Amino acid sequence: MDTLPGELWERITDGFLRVAPPAIGATGLVLLVVVAVALSVPRRSWRIFGLFVTVVHELGHAAAALLTLQRVTGITLRLDHSGTTTSRARRGWRAAFTTFWGYPVPAVVGSLLLWGAAYGWAPAALSLGAVLLVAALVLIRNGQGVLILGGSAAVSLGLVWFGGAAPAGYACLVLGVALLVGACRDWVKVAGVHRRRRDLASSDAHLLRLATRVPSPVWLGLFALVIASAVALSVAPLALIAAASS
């Protein structure tokens, strides 16, 4: 394929092959974790990376809706890190299931990226992510959302275009750890919303309470349980990578 789109697609499909995992050892892993923390902890970098965490959060709602045979009608993303996913929700467990899978999803995706990197599937993870982000553009319903998701898709495609097996592994490690940190950060934020009892309409736990009559603290606890489980399950792939010699 001689055209730019054709070559890009070829690189995306070439990514669905297993490669050697990154052999960076403990020192290299610590350096990548430092990079991930630098993305997800300082306020200035969080203003940018937090937008990607919101993208993953809202795509989690969309995926849950599709899994329960609901029609997703649109996604709205805003520069203040808020977002909304709308669907033709059926009442009952389907609506609750869709609403639940928001806050825990960045942690789940982060853990999957780490497992992918540890077992040689980092290029496949990046290729799949690029395809999903580009496909999700058809669901965006506002200009800020186009900017946010379009930027995320562009970065993802850039990683596929310029990266090889080793850079893909490094990218998955950084993104995986950063998403885990981001999920914890967002959970603390939503817990604070309930503690102050302000802006409750922005909380999935509040929406779940209204839909199910189960108290919000229960839902916050379930969010925390999934996030903590994802963090715990991420120790094994990180240990495998740390044990690998460069």
Domain range holding 24? 4-243
pLDDT of 2 over the 80 cut: no
Provide mean pLDDT across the span 234-243.
94
| Amino acid 89: pLDDT | 66
pLDDT of 57 over the 90 cut: yes
Give me the number of domains the chain comprises.
Answer: 1
| Amino acid 33: pLDDT | 94
pLDDT of 14 over the 60 cut: yes
Core vs surface per residue 15-51: b (16+ CB within 10 A) or e? beeebebbebeeebbeebbeebeebbeeeeebeebbb
pLDDT of 245 over the 70 cut: no
| pLDDT, tens only, 104-160 | 999 999 999 999 999 999 999 999 999 999 999 999 999 999 999 999 999 999 999
| Amino acid 23: pLDDT | 87
| pLDDT, tens only, 40-49 | 999 999 999 9
Q: What's the mean pLDDT when you consider all of the chain?
A: 93
| Amino acid 138: pLDDT | 98
**Cα 172 to chain center, whole Å?**
11
Residue in the block written with tokens 């974790």: 33
pLDDT of 30 over the 90 cut: yes
pLDDT of 62 over the 90 cut: yes
Higher-confidence position of 35 and 7: 35
| pLDDT, tens only, 148-169 | 999 999 999 999 998 888 999 9
